[in-house]
Amino acid sequence: MKLKSLELVGFKSFAKKSELNFTAPITAIVGPNGSGKSNVAEAFRFVLGEQSFKSMRGKRGEDLIWNGTAKLPRQNRAAVKLIFDNSQKLLNIDFDEAILERVVHRDGVNEYSVNSSQVRLRDILELLAGAHIGPSGHHIISQGEADRVLNANMKERRLMIEDALGLKIYHYKKQESERKLEKTNENIKSVESLRREIAPHLKFLKKQVEKIARAAELRAKLVALYHEYFRRESVYINRERAELAEEKKLPSEELKKTEHDLARARQVLENSQGADKQSRELLTIEEQLRTLRARKDELFRDLGQLEGELSAEKRLFQRLELEEKNEKHRTIAWREVEKLAKEIEEQTILEKIKELVANFLTLHRQTRDGTILQEAGRAIEKIGKEKTSREEALKKETVNEEKLLAKSAELKVIMEKEKDENRAAEREVFRLMVAQNEMLGKLQMLRSREEKLRANEEEYKRELSEATAIAGVEAIHYEEIKDEVARAQLANELHQEQTERRRELEKIKIRIEEMGAGGGGDIIKEHQEAGERDAFLEREITDLEKTSQSLGELVTELDEKLMAEFKTGVEKINAEFQKYFAMMFGGGEASIEVICEKKRKRAELGEEAGLFDEPSGVAGLLAEAAEEKGEEGIDIRVNLPRKRIKGLDMLSGGERALTSIALIFAVSQVNPPPFIILDETDAALDEANSRKYGDIIEELAKKSQLILITHNRETMSRADVLYGVTMGVDGVSKLLSIQFAEALEVTK
């Protein structure tokens, strides 16, 4: 026995806790109309997870809860518990007894549990699907639903059959896979769109990074060039500095010496200013000489005059001496004569006499007396004395002149000597000045080179700090050249080449500046991160695509499996269907066919036109169905014995019930469910058919437990256990185990 018991609390008319134990293969539930029998069948549906309230004759969850009467108040929840013997692991849980419970509350909330653990509806459905208990309820035939399978459309029939064949589990798996596939494809799309979203930024970053790489390359080039440049520049500057110091040494020393000599030479010249004193002295001497000579000339003149006077006096003296000796030369006193002349003049006698006397006087004025001689002698003596004094003075002057001349000559010699010395000193000064100028010129040139070097050094320092700023500190960490030969080679290189290098450096600097990429550490990091993210997304897409592909394959596989199992299932059903149909109708033919909706319509049209001779067969139909992609379904074909009836629509109520029962039984035989509930399926059967029905039921009970709700005596007679359902005035259904005779009584 697979089914153990059913317990109802507050479910519909079962206000109080009621329990049915299924201890035999066939259990019949009997009771008067409206006592609550069908509620039991619905309790099964309920606990198995039925979601259609309609199939439980309600509109909402609340309708399933005991609604209360005057005597017994309504309840807030309806609960149904179904217990299976799970020792054979009918349900895939690790318990020997499987207890399924469903509770519905007035607010419509449902609770499901398996062995007291709360689960989802889905879990219940999957668990049951594994035991061929599907939600389509093919194994629960409600009242008036006997020909449900006939009334159902092709698609519903197909679902029913799939359910009965236990293929629902594949559907669940397929749905699950399709859901996953859909989700996966959505994920692919969203990851792709994410990738597309970040793509422009990544592209931008890539370009930036390339730019940074180019800038880094340029910077490396710049650094290398800087090293070349600085290395040479430092060598150049050091050498130039050393050279200048060396070159300056000699002219500086020479200049110093020249200036020293020049100072000395100038001192010599300055000292020669004594020549003026000497010339002034010479001039004084010459002046003195001139005065002296003038005096001498005067003395000579005086001497000459005195000599003349002396000789004249001498001659006078001699004449007078002679006259004295001669009488004729007697002398009249001059005073007498002048007295005479004066007396004549005063008499103003004849002018002529006056004139004669005057002449006489003149003529005799020379006439002297003896005193004249004496006077002449005295004059001679006096003149002689004067002459001697003059001669002595002249002598003195001559000595003085000689002295002056000697002094003058001496001075001239000295002056001449000094003049020579000055000229030499002047020449020396001139020579030294020329030399000094030359040294100064040389030093000036060196100084201008020094200036240039200083400017170079300044520029060098500026360039070092600029290089640090532009290309980082490594730009100035160039390796110095220690080897002297190599240094000399570098220094010998034309400085013009450094200018070329500088120009190249400028060009690179400008290019780096134009790039404006900066250090770019952040960009590189961001690019790396974005790249990693993109790669991650790409991997994600690949993974998702793989998943999608395998899910797709799984779906196809499930489809194939479904199709294959469906096909063999349908074949098996057909065999059983034919068997039960023949049993029910005493012959005839019945089959189900998988058909595509379009195909069916076509077939119907063909039938109408008398052209129904198309090849049948599930495989062919399946293939065609797949080709036409129409909705697949199950068509039922019957051929009653002795009757030319082919369409289901042409069957009588009883025939429909029999056909339907034959199909239900056929289906349940292929994949027997653990239990089958038949709610008055036998209602439309006459006695003969009831017997056939009873026979078949007994056969079914070999594979499935049967719960039969019935008013049919024949059916009751086949049951092992009977339950009576009664309802009192309180409207509460009650269950009681009864005997066959009681059952007959209850039914009445």
Residue placing its CB nearer to ligand ATP in the complex, 25 or 36 = 36
Q: Specify the DSSP class assigned to residue 11.
A: B
Distance CA 583, CA 652 (A): 17
H/E segment holding residue 590: strand 589-596
Residue type for 417, please? K
> Should residue 519 be labelled a site residue for ligand ATP when binding is judged by CB under 6 A?
no
Taking the alpha carbons of 252, 256, 259, 261 in that order, is the dihedral positive or negative? negative
Angle between helices 168-271 and 521-585 (to 10 degrees): 170
Q: Does 34 bind ligand ATP (CB under 6 A)?
A: yes
Q: What does the block give as tokens for 36? A: 């609550």
- Binders in 78-107 for ligand ATP, by CB under 6 A: none
Among 55, 143, 272, 639, binds ligand ATP (CB under 6 A): 143
Write the DSSP symbol of residue 474: G
Q: What is the footprint of ligand ATP within residues 621-640 (CB under 6 A)?
A: none
CB nearer to ligand ATP: pick between 16 and 354: 16
Tell me how far apart the alpha carbons of residues 637 and 653 are, in angstroms, rounded to a whole number. Answer: 17
Q: Is residue 55 near ligand ATP by the rule CB under 6 A?
A: no
Neighbours of 59 (CB within 10 A): 9
Instruction: Measure the CA–CA gap between 205 and 196, rounded to whole angstroms.
Output: 14
Kindly state the smallest distance separating residue 42's Cβ from ligand ATP, in Å.
7
Helices 521-585 and 154-164, axial angle in degrees (round to 10): 90
Q: Which stretch binds ligand ATP (CB under 6 A): 59-67, 110-118, 378-386, 734-742?
A: 59-67
**Nearest-10 crossing angle of helices 495-515, 168-271:** 140
Pairing of strands 721-727, 26-30: parallel
Contact indicator for 235, 547 with CB cutoff of 8 Å: no
Instruction: Please tell me whether residue 31 binds ligand ATP under the rule CB under 6 A.
Output: yes
Question: Who contacts 334 (Cβ-Cβ below 8 Å, separation ≥6)?
Answer: 365, 367
**Which of 4, 6, 7, 12 lies at the binding interface for ligand ATP (CB under 6 A)?**
12
What residues have CB less than 8 Å from 691, skipping those under 6 apart? 714
Nearer to ligand ATP, 34 or 308 (CB): 34
Closer to ligand ATP at the Cβ: 258 or 712? Answer: 712
Distance of alpha carbon 334 from alpha carbon 356, whole angstroms: 17
Is residue 710 at the binding interface for ligand ATP, with CB under 6 A as the rule?
no
Among 5, 21, 23, 67, binds ligand ATP (CB under 6 A): 67
- Applying CB under 6 A, among 4, 37, 148, 599 the residue interacting with ligand ATP is 37
Query: Is 715 one of the binding residues for ligand ATP (CB under 6 A)?
Result: no
The verdict on 39 binding ligand ATP (CB under 6 A) reads yes
Binding flag, residue 72, ligand ATP (CB under 6 A): no
The only residue of 3, 28, 30, 36 in contact with ligand ATP, by rule CB under 6 A = 36
**Residue (104 or 658) nearer to ligand ATP, CB:** 104
Give the shortest CB-186-to-ligand ATP separation in angstroms: 43
- Applying CB under 6 A, the site for ligand ATP has a residue count of 15
Among 377, 616, 731, 742, binds ligand ATP (CB under 6 A): 731
Contacts of 320 (CB under 8 A, 6+ apart): 368, 372, 373, 376
Under the binding rule (CB under 6 A), the answer on residue 681 touching ligand ATP is no
Tokens of 514: 């134009």
User: Based on CB atoms, which residue is closest to ligand ATP, 35 or 408?
Assistant: 35
Each residue 426-465 as x (binds ligand ATP by CB under 6 A) or -, in order, gives ----------------------------------------
**Alpha-carbon separation of residue 677 from 84, 85, 466, 680, 681 (angstroms):** 15, 18, 97, 9, 9
Stretch that binds ligand ATP, among 60-68, 260-268, 342-350, 420-428 (CB under 6 A): 60-68
Contact call for residue 33 and ligand ATP (CB under 6 A): yes
Sign of CA dihedral 666, 667, 670, 671: negative
Longest dimension (CA), the chain: 261
Amino acid at position 561, single letter: K
CB 710, min distance to ligand ATP, A:
10
Determine, following the binding rule CB under 6 A, whether residue 66 of this chain makes contact with ligand ATP.
yes
Closer of 39 and 668 to ligand ATP (Cβ): 39
Q: Report the nearest approach of ligand ATP to the CB of residue 678 (Å).
A: 13
CA distance 392 to 413: 32
Which of residues 110 and 456 has its CB atom nearest to ligand ATP in the complex?
A: 110
Quick check: 142 binds ligand ATP (CB under 6 A)? no
Residue nearest to ligand ATP (CB): 33
Per CB under 6 A, 45 contacts ligand ATP:
no
Residues that bind ligand ATP (CB under 6 A): 12-13, 31, 33-39, 63, 66-67, 143, 731
